[in-house]
């Protein structure tokens, strides 16, 4: 489906963040790029972007982005960009004849909203608007938001001054060519060239539908306060990874998110972060092997630091739309190598102090148990998510293993840590095998 994006205004209230509003980066990614990538995830496959202010800068950026994403981004220009936004919509009239997605360059949203809107069944001559029915939404600026009055799935009125309203405009529309006729009619009869004015025209004729998208993230990044709220939500969403274990969820993730917020401002790739975390683990293992409590303790802290950093690769990938199957696989491969180095380093440390065969056996069981726990993770996690106990699965993973290594080093109880890891990892692997057998 084609997508029209309005990006023509000056954005004066966000001038402290940058001169060209669509190009202002939020957590490392320009606003217009976030909108386009979100629309791509929702299913849009061709774009028309209407710019006006600083159109050359916007056009140059869109050209580079089109090459990067391998998607058609057609630039359109609205010379009257200081006037109402309906004029920008009208610039696309000759290019858009079938139903199309209409977005705003400064409205960030969960791709699920656009996907839901795009799948809405319209009849010819209608439009549909995603409406947030949560009138207590803390992300909404009540002094600036466009309010919507709905009844029976239809829009009855829309505007910023409504006192009787049931939701808020998300800026996500599914339109037919009726929107162009309504804009011209509104301009002719009411001297109003705003998009809201055209929606009121269609609403009066019973041709403006409302689609409830409450519960999904959307925000109009129109000023500095909204910018900060959007950043906070994007970062908070990183903490909702379903496969996080208890250490990751309550300790590692709050710290890694803070680090990722800083990392996204630099040209650092997720794979580079994965490699850095791995090298930290190798160094920690080397410190373990040197012997002595001071190097053992330093290695323990370095291993736990690496565990925190290990969360940043995925966070940066999600924030900057750089996630890939290869990146996830590469990270998993490095994690397995890192685990082997850490556990071998601990085993070596203990064996040099007390050269007994039992220590080698426990170290071997700790390594093999860790590998088997990782090997069984995908099937177990998928089963728990889809069939057994969605959202409530007991999750024991790498975060717990590294935490045990850290506490073993901190308390100078290396052998005890290896025993606990060997027992817990292998018992959990066997438990997963039984669960998958019974429910697979």
Q: Is the pLDDT of residue 394 over 60?
A: no
Tokens 């409504």 appear where?
A: 162
pLDDT class of 282 with cuts at 50, 70, 90: very high
Phi then psi for residue 27, to 5 deg, are 55, 45
pLDDT class of 391 with cuts at 50, 70, 90: very low
Q: Rounded mean pLDDT of 110-122?
A: 94
Q: Are 132 and 237 in contact (CB under 8 A)?
A: no
Q: Which residues lie closer than 8 Å to 158 by C-beta, 6 or more apart? A: 129, 146, 147, 148, 149, 169, 196, 199, 200, 203
Give the H or E element holding residue 365.
helix 357-375
Q: What is the pLDDT of residue 11?
A: 86
Distance CA 143, CA 427 (A): 57
Q: Are 333 and 388 in contact (CB under 8 A)?
A: no
Q: What percent of the chain has pLDDT over 70?
A: 97
Phi then psi for residue 149, to 5 deg, are -105, 120
Q: Is the pLDDT of residue 379 over 80?
A: no
Residue-wise pLDDT for 133-174, tens only, equals: 998 888 888 888 999 999 999 999 999 999 999 999 999 999
Average pLDDT of the residues of the chain: 92
Pairs from 384-391 (Cβ < 8 Å, separation ≥ 24): 384/435, 385/242, 387/439, 388/435, 388/439, 391/242
Length of the chain counted residue by residue? 440
Q: What is the pLDDT of residue 130?
A: 96
Q: What is the pLDDT of residue 393?
A: 52
Q: Rounded mean pLDDT of 339-365?
A: 96
Q: What is the pLDDT of residue 397?
A: 84
DSSP secondary structure of 368-407: HHHHHHHHTHHHHHHHIIIII-TT------HHHHHHHHHH
Beta strands 127-132 and 208-212, pairing class:
parallel
Packed helices 325-353 and 293-319: angle between N→C axes, nearest 10 degrees: 170
For residue 30, give Cα distances in angstroms to 4, 8, 265, 314: 17, 15, 11, 19
Which domains are delineated in the chain? 2-232 (3.90.550.10), 242-439 (1.20.120.1760)
Q: How far apart are the first and last CA of the chain?
A: 38
Q: Rounded mean pLDDT of 31-35?
A: 97
Distance CA 106, CA 320 (A): 17
Q: Rounded mean pLDDT of 2-28?
A: 93
Q: Is the pLDDT of residue 359 over 80?
A: yes
Tokens 């995603």 appear where?
A: 130
Q: Is the pLDDT of residue 256 over 80?
A: yes
Beta strands 100-104 and 167-175, pairing class:
antiparallel
Q: What percent of the chain has pLDDT over 90?
A: 83
The phi-psi region of residue 86 (left if phi > 0; otherwise alpha if psi is between -120 and 50; otherwise beta) is: alpha
Q: Is the pLDDT of residue 390 over 60?
A: no
Q: Rounded mean pLDDT of 303-311?
A: 96
Q: Is the pLDDT of residue 232 over 90?
A: yes
pLDDT class of 431 with cuts at 50, 70, 90: confident
Q: What is the pLDDT of residue 396?
A: 81
Q: Is 58 helix (H, G, I), strand (E, B) or coil?
A: helix
Residue-wise pLDDT for 182-221, tens only, equals: 999 999 999 999 999 999 999 999 999 999 999 999 999 9
Distance CA 235, CA 218 (A): 14
Pairs from 94-97 (Cβ < 8 Å, separation ≥ 24): 95/2, 95/48, 96/2, 96/4, 96/48, 96/175, 96/177, 97/177
Q: Is 260 helix (H, G, I), strand (E, B) or coil?
A: helix
């Amino acid at each position: 489906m084609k997508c029209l994006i309005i990006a023509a205004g000056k954005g004066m209230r966000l001038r402290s963040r940058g001169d060209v509003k669509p190009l202002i980066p939020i957590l490392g990614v320009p606003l217009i790029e976030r909108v386009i990538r979100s629309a791509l995830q929702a299913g849009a496959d061709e774009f028309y972007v209407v710019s006006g202010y600083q159109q050359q800068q916007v056009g140059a950026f869109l050209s580079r982005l089109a090459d990067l994403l391998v998607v058609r981004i057609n630039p359109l220009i609205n010379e009257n960009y200081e006037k109402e936004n309906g004029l920008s919509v009208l610039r696309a009239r000759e290019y858009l004849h079938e139903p199309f997605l209409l977005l705003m360059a400064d409205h960030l949203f969960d791709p699920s909203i656009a996907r839901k809107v795009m799948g809405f069944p319209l009849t010819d001559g209608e439009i549909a608007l995603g409406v947030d029915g949560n009138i207590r939404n803390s992300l909404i600026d009540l002094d600036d938001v466009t309010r919507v009055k709905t009844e029976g799935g239809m829009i009855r009125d829309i505007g910023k001054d409504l006192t009787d309203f049931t939701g808020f405009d998300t800026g996500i529309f599914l339109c037919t060519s009726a929107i162009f006729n309504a804009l011209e009619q509104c301009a002719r009869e009411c001297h109003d060239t705003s998009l809201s004015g055209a929606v009121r025209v269609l609403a009066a004729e019973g041709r403006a539908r409302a689609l409830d998208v409450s519960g999904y993230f959307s925000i109009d990044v129109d000023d500095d306060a909204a910018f900060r709220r959007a950043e906070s939500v994007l970062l908070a969403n990183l903490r909702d990874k379903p496969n996080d274990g208890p250490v990751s969820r309550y300790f590692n993730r709050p710290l890694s998110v803070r680090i990722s917020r800083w990392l996204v401002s630099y040209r650092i790739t997720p794979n580079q972060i994965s490699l850095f975390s791995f090298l930290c683990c190798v160094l920690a293992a080397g410190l373990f092997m040197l012997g002595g409590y001071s190097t053992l303790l330093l290695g323990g802290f370095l291993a736990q630091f690496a565990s925190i950093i290990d969360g940043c690769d995925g966070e940066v990938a999600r924030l900057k739309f750089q996630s890939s199957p290869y990146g996830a696989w590469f990270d998993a491969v490095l994690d397995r190598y890192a685990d082997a180095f850490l556990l071998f380093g601990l085993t070596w440390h203990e064996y040099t102090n007390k050269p007994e065969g039992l220590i080698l056996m426990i170290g071997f069981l700790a390594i093999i148990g860790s590998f088997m726990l990782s090997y069984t993770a995908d099937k177990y996690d998928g089963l728990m998510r889809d069939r057994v106990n969605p959202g409530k699965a007991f999750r024991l993973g790498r975060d717990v293993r590294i935490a045990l290594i850290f506490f073993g080093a901190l308390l100078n109880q290396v052998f005890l840590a290896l025993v606990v890891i060997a027992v817990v990892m292998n018992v959990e692997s066997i438990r997963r095998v039984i669960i998958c057998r019974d429910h697979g």
